[in-house]
Structures are given as structure tokens and as C-alpha cells.
Amino acid sequence: MGERRSERLRSLGMGKLITRRDFIDGVAAAALAAGPAPVFAGDEAAAAPQDRPGYYPPALAGMRGSHPGSFEAAHALRDGTFLRSGAPPIEPGEHFDLIVVGGGISGLAAAYFYRAKVGAAARILILDNHDDFGGHAKRNEFALAGKIQLINGGTLGIDSPRPYSAVAAGLLSALGIDPAALAVRHSEKGVYPALGLGSGIFFDKETFGADRLVKGKTSSPEFLKQTPLSEAARRHVRRLETEPIDYLPGLSSAEKKARLSRISYRDYLLQLVKVDPSVIPLYQRCTHGEWGVGIDAVSALDVWPFGLPGFQGLKLDPGSAPHMGYTAAGYADGGSYKFHFPDGNASIARLLVRSLIPGAVPGSTVEDVVTARIDYSGLDRTENSTRIRLGSTALSVGVSGPGESIGAAEVVYSRMSRLCTTRAKHCVLACWSIMIPYLCPQLPERQKASLRYLVKVPLVYTNVALRNWLAFQALGVSAIHCPGSYHSSVRLNPVSDIGSYRSPNSPDEPILVRMVRTPCYPGMSERDQHRMGRGELLTTSFAVFEEKIRDQLGRMLSAGGFDPAHDITAITVNRWPHGYAYEYNPLFDPNWQKGEAPHEIGRARFGPIAIANSDAAAAAYTDAAIDQAHRAVEELLGS
């Protein structure tokens, strides 16, 4: 058994050296987090990593997202295992007008709005626990055959359920981003369709009895004939996908929508459409990308605007209805403009940094930011009024002085195994809501309970570099849904040419592939599934991810000549245990009165401390992160 397994691992290429695999994996990091985390006041002389030559986190591979080293101090604070040495925290003697906790889009936007109001001389410090700024807006950069290829490590698109507000659109515009114009100039060029590549489904033998990749649309008889589904299941899929049957006869559109909002899509399929239960696994994960849970935990009404089958005979009036989730309701009403940079919304974060710290991000246009190489040692310089300090986890934020005094807010943070205390007139917490009760135990109990309610959605964006994409070409696919596999979707990196950046367009060139996993546990409430998934992510080692990736790609693509041991050249696992902001779920959450929802209670200002982040909007989108930053700054400075 042992020998057979090692032979299999060798054939997958597990022993091979790929680009800079992390030495500390998820398990080791979790063990670190579980034990006491001593933090000492100590040697101040060592240069911070971001100031060292060659520091460039976008180029790191291995375990990224919540990478080892980014969360241990926060978890030790949560677990009460955080030890302080007898020595007091270092006081570098710095005073700021504003300290921002969290260097994601919301934190960077808060700094931008504050500076716009107070003036360019406003002294601002942004702290973030990761080794790179941007929060979820992270960039993964690969050097493949001498060429840089880019992909997003987290948030991808300027694409939201609602039109961007005047504030959010105004910020984009000030940064030089005109999403509508950019979409026209740089929209995808149809490279994959021109090569005959389309979508397919991978049926795995553990779920469906046989490994089979089938190209085409679920509704077509030719597609169904090639699947390992039973005859009955094929018939039921075809009926579900194509027949305009009204499964709620006698009800008005509004009554149907009300009914659909109270039943999961899974139960709708089983109880009203009456599909054979063997059909369910084919659809179970269709909702993973949008919600991070399967169809057991998303209402039938919420999946309707996304074009899932079974509604074509119901004749529902277009548009949103009461009891829809934020995402579904917004997209039912049309959504926002759509555009993405090659590195996703990391380009927005880079443009924000360019505007906050002159000289930090070379170039001057929205096009040249894509290929700019940032000098990270420019981010935290004494001579700059705005500074970004990475690898710095805030552990305590308190009200320590009167009114608008310079010492009104006191922030203690850990960095390089040391504790530091810094003071400011104001503080914006642009970090995750769930962390705030640990940071600010002084907050009222009701506010802390509300902040804890907002359990973020865990998910993983795995980016894999391949020597070429000849196997995809041979099989005629560019995007594959994988209803039973470890990663539930696999797709070639969308083509995005902007400025001097060019995506690969020939199948014999290297390429990046995106695989998505959303760990969830069907049958539980959405928030419980997220809690379980988060635990899973933090205890899964990079080696486990790597084996699953190689095994899945090998099984899906070997008929096209793919060899995981030879064709995979690098892997980056962007792990986000605290991913999308929680948006209430009509199946599990009460219908809150205005002002009574947890995010509204949770984001209340507390003296010199205001609260931003997309969590404060209960909406997992860039525009929400920007709007909340603006609100938080307005609360501190008044309009």
C-alpha cells in the first residue's frame, strides 16, 4: 500500500521541485497558532521585511492569501494564549492623525478620503497583517518562460450587484478608472472561443461512478448521452433544463417569488420539480462561486437570476422581490458595469497606493499600473505623510485620550515578534468585523455580539501554472465545472490585454489556470458551514492541496495528453478562511428592521474609532468596501 501510494505520488509529480513551495504549510502554521504566541518588546534595529532588498510578495507562490505568519498573533489573541513579556510595548514615538487597521480596499480608501478632507499633510498609518497590501485584492505574478503572467489571488472584477454609488464611482474616476471605457477597449477578445474552446463538466468516479469530461451544455441530448448519469437522471435533467413547466401553478408571480424565497433550490428540485435524487449532485455546487455553499443553503429565488434551470415555465416577472439576498436581488435588477484588470482588483489597490504615497508605484496611467514593479521599501518612510506598514497585526485598539487629542486612539500591534504602541487622533477599523470585539473589548456588548454575527465565507483561489494548454485545446474546453471534485471549477485565466501586458493566445505557450474550492458542509446553516469550512482551510497543508490539484487536473485532462508531473510548473494556493463578507441568507436569517441588522449595529462609531470594511455593508463587493470607508471617515470628520 505504502509503495503503491508513493508510486502514485511520483507519477503526479509530487516529488518535483516547483516554483518556491512554502516551507511552512497550513498544518504547521495552525500548530503555531494553537500554541502560546509570545510577543516580546525587543530589538528595534532589524530592518522590517518590506524594507529589505528584493522584497516583492506578488511573486511568491505556495500558500498565499492568509499565508503562514499573517494570522497567528490574531488567533492567539482570540484563544487567550497571547503572552506578553514583562517588557512594555515599544513606543516608536510616532503620532498620526489617523491609524487605519486593515490595508484592503476599504482601508486604503479610508486613507484616501481622510487625506482628501484633511489635506495632503495629514499623517496616516495603515497597518495590515499580511506581507502585501490590498487585503482580498491580491496579485499573483508568475514568471513563465521569461514572461510575466498575472492573475488575481482574490477579488477579480469591478462587478457588483448594484450600480456603483457616486462615492465609489467617483473614487474610481479619480484613480483614472473608467470601467465602461476600459471594458470597451480591453474586453476579452474571444481567444478561447475562436479556438473552439467552450465549457464542460467533469464527472468524477467517486460521485458519478466514472471519470469523464464531457464538453457542451447540460440541456443537450448529445451531452447527456456521454455522461455517466443513469437513464432516469438524464431524462430528468433534460426535463428540468428544457421544458417550460409551471411547478407553482395558480400563483401570481409575486406569490411564486415569495414561495421560492423560503425554499432551498435543492428542495425546490426535489419537492416541486420532482427530479430523481441522483440529479442533485450535478447541481449541488452550482452556487459555490457566488455564495460559498451548495444549493441546500441557497434559496430557489436567489438562484433564479443566475439562470439556473427550472424556472422557465414559471413566467416570473423580471426584477428583485422581498426576501432575496443582496447579491441575487441586485443582479435581478441589472447589476453594475463589468471590467477586470489582469490582476483583478489588485490594480485598484495599487492605484490607491500610487495616489497616497507619491513615487511608491511607478508610472502614471491606469494601463501602466498593471506592469509596474513596486518598491515596497517606499511604503513606510518617515518623510511620507501616509505610510503602509505590513506584517503588522493590531491587537488592541482603545480610547486613551480626550476628544480630538492626538492620543485619543491608542493602537497596539505586533510586528516581527515585537509589540508596538502608536497613537492617533482617529482610527478606522477597516479589518474584519469578527476581529473587532477582540481588538476593542471596550465596545458595548450588543455591538460586539452583532460584529461576531458576520461570519465570512471561506474560499480558495488556487492558481496553477502550466507549461502549455495543448490538453485544453485537444479536449475543446476552457472552463470546467467539477460537481464532485476537490476544486469545483477549473478555468483558463481569462484573456485580458491592457497597456503593455499581453495574455497568452497560443496553446503552446505557458498559461495560468484558476481552480476554486469552497469548503462547505451541506445540511447546516450557512454560517455554520462557513465556520466549519474556515477550520478546514486552516488545517489543510499545502501538500494536501498540491496532491489534490495534481490528481484532479490529471484525471480531467489526461485524455488530452496532460501529464501533471511534467506540465505543472508552479502552484499558488490563495486561501481565504475569512473571504466574502456575509450577506444575510433569507433561508436562515430574520428579516431585520432597518437599523437593526448586525452590520448596522456593529459599525457604530465609538469615540475616535469608526468602522469600515465590506463587512460593515454586509455586501462582499469593492464598491461596498469603498462606500463604508467613506461613511467611516465622514463619521469621524463630519461633512
Ligand X SMILES: Cc1cc2nc3c(=O)[nH]c(=O)nc-3n(C[C@H](O)[C@H](O)[C@H](O)COP(=O)(O)OP(=O)(O)OC[C@H]3O[C@@H](n4cnc5c(N)ncnc54)[C@H](O)[C@@H]3O)c2cc1C
What are the φ and ψ backbone dihedral angles of 476, each rounded to 5 degrees?
A: 75, 30
Find the shortest distance in angstroms from Cβ 104 to ligand X.
2
Is 321 among the residues that bind ligand X (CB under 6 A)?
no
Cβ atoms of 114 and 637 within 8 Å: the answer is yes
Closest by CA to 38, choosing from 341, 349, 378, 414, is 414
Cα–Cα distances in angstroms (integers) from residue 379 to residues 104, 132, 354, 387, 487, in the given order? 15, 11, 10, 6, 36
Residue type, 287: T
Would you say 308 and 241 are in contact if contact means Cβ atoms under 8 Å apart?
no
Among 12, 61, 122, 137, interactor with ligand X by CB under 6 A:
137
Q: Please tell me whether residue 342 binds ligand X under the rule CB under 6 A.
A: no
The nearer residue to ligand X, 157 or 310, going by C-beta atoms, is 157
Rounded Cα distance, 115 and 211, in Å: 56
CB of 252 to ligand X, least distance (A): 34
Question: Does residue number 411 form part of the binding site for ligand X (CB under 6 A)?
Answer: no
In angstroms, give the least distance from the CB of 161 to ligand X.
9
Binding flag, residue 601, ligand X (CB under 6 A): no
Instruction: For residue 576, report the phi and psi dihedrals to the nearest 5 degrees.
Output: -125, 80
Please list the residues that pair with 477 across neighbouring strands.
198
Does 106 interact with ligand X (rule: CB under 6 A)?
Answer: yes
- Whole-number Cα distances in Å, 303 to 263, 284, 514: 11, 12, 23
Site membership for ligand X, residue 128 (CB under 6 A)? yes
Among 57, 68, 135, 292, binds ligand X (CB under 6 A): 135
Q: Cβ 345 to ligand X, closest distance in Å?
A: 6
Convert residues 443-462 into a mask of x (bound to ligand X by CB under 6 A) and - (unbound). ----------------x-x-
Write out the three cell numbers for 459.
Answer: 474560499
Query: 556 vs 625, which CB is nearer to ligand X?
Result: 625
Between residue 59 and residue 78, which ones bind ligand X under the rule CB under 6 A?
Answer: 74
Decide if residue 339 touches ligand X (CB under 6 A). Answer: no
Q: How many residues bind ligand X (CB under 6 A)?
A: 39
33 makes contact with ligand X (CB under 6 A)? no
Instruction: Please state the closest distance from residue 620 (CB atom) to ligand X, in A.
Output: 4
User: What nine digits make up the cell of 249?
Assistant: 401553478
Site for ligand X contains 613 (CB under 6 A): yes
Interface region with ligand X, contact rule CB under 6 A, candidates 10-18, 99-107, 402-410, 520-528: 99-107
Binding segment for ligand X (CB under 6 A), chosen from 103-111, 161-169, 233-241, 498-506, is 103-111
Q: Helices marked H in 164-298 — which ranges?
A: 166-174, 179-186, 191-194, 205-208, 221-226, 231-242, 253-260, 265-267, 280-283, 288-291
Smaller CB distance to ligand X: residue 158 or 568? Answer: 158
Cβ proximity of 316 and 257 under 8 Å:
yes
Kindly state whether residue 620 participates in binding ligand X, applying the rule CB under 6 A.
Answer: yes
Among 104-112, 172-180, 283-291, 359-367, the segment contacting ligand X (CB under 6 A): 104-112
With b for 16 or more beta-carbon neighbours within 10 A and e for fewer, the 121-160 pattern comes to: ebbbbbbbbbbbbbbbbbbbbbebeeebbbbbbbbbbbbb
Task: Please select the residue that binds ligand X; options are 142, 432, 472, 542, rule is CB under 6 A.
Answer: 432
Q: Per rule CB under 6 A, is residue 569 in the interface with ligand X? A: no
Query: Out of 41, 99, 127, 388, which residue is the one contacting ligand X (CB under 6 A)?
Result: 127
Q: Does 621 bind ligand X (CB under 6 A)?
A: yes
Check if the beta carbon of residue 585 is closer than 8 Å to that of residue 264: no
Shortest distance in whole angstroms from residue 438 CB to ligand X: 8
* Binding status of residue 341 toward ligand X by CB under 6 A: no
Nearer to ligand X, 570 or 620 (CB): 620
In the structure grid, which three cell numbers stand for residue 91, read together? 513606543
The identity of residue 604, as a single letter, is A
Antiparallel, parallel or unpaired: β 95-101 and 418-429: parallel
Q: Which stretch binds ligand X (CB under 6 A): 161-169, 210-218, 324-332, 621-629?
A: 621-629
Environment class of 429 (CB within 10 Å of its CB; exposed 0-12, middle 13-18, buried 19+): buried
One-letter amino acid at 619 equals A
Listed ranges 229-237, 322-330, 596-604, 620-628: which one lies at the site for ligand X (CB under 6 A): 620-628
**How open is the CA angle 353-22-49, to the nearest 5 degrees?**
40
Report d(CA 339, CA 609) in Å as an integer: 34
Backbone Cα Rg of the chain: 25
Interactions with ligand X, residue window 476-535 (CB under 6 A) = none
Tell the burial category of 387 from Cβ atoms under 10 Å away from its Cβ (0-12, 13-18, 19+). buried
CA dihedral 61, 62, 67, 68 (to 10 degrees): -130
Q: Does 327 bind ligand X (CB under 6 A)?
A: no
Q: Looking at 223, 545, 576, 584, which residue binds ligand X (CB under 6 A)?
A: 576
SS3 content of the chain, % helix, strand, coil (to 5): 35, 20, 45
Q: Are 135 and 107 in contact (CB under 8 A)?
A: yes
Residues 149-188 that bind ligand X (CB under 6 A): 154-157, 159-160
Instruction: Judge contact between 265 and 298, C-beta under 8 A.
Output: yes
Cβ proximity to ligand X, 188 vs 563, nearer residue:
188
* Closer by beta carbon to ligand X, 282 or else 625: 625
- Does 353 bind ligand X (CB under 6 A)? Our answer is no
Residue span 363-402 as binding mask against ligand X, x where in contact by CB under 6 A, dash where not? ------------------------------xx--------
Query: Cα(460)–Cα(302) distance, rounded to whole angstroms?
Result: 23
Residue 294 interacts with ligand X (CB under 6 A): yes or no: no
Residue of 123, 136, 236, 487 that binds ligand X (CB under 6 A): 136
Stretch of 121-129, 200-208, 234-242, 268-276 contacting ligand X, by CB under 6 A: 121-129
Helix (H) or strand (E) holding 215: strand 212-215
Query: What's the CA gap between 135 and 120, in Å, rounded?
Result: 24
Told to check if 248 binds ligand X by CB under 6 A, we report no
Q: Closest separation between CB of residue 539 and ligand X, Å? A: 19
Q: By C-beta, is 367 or 627 nearer to ligand X?
A: 627
Choose between 135 and 378: whose C-beta lies nearer to ligand X.
135
- 3-state secondary structure labels for all residues of 131-145: CCCECCCCEEEEEEC
Q: Which residues bind to ligand X, rule: CB under 6 A? A: 74, 101-107, 127-130, 135-137, 154-157, 159-160, 345, 393-394, 430-432, 435, 459, 461, 576, 579-580, 613-614, 620-622, 625
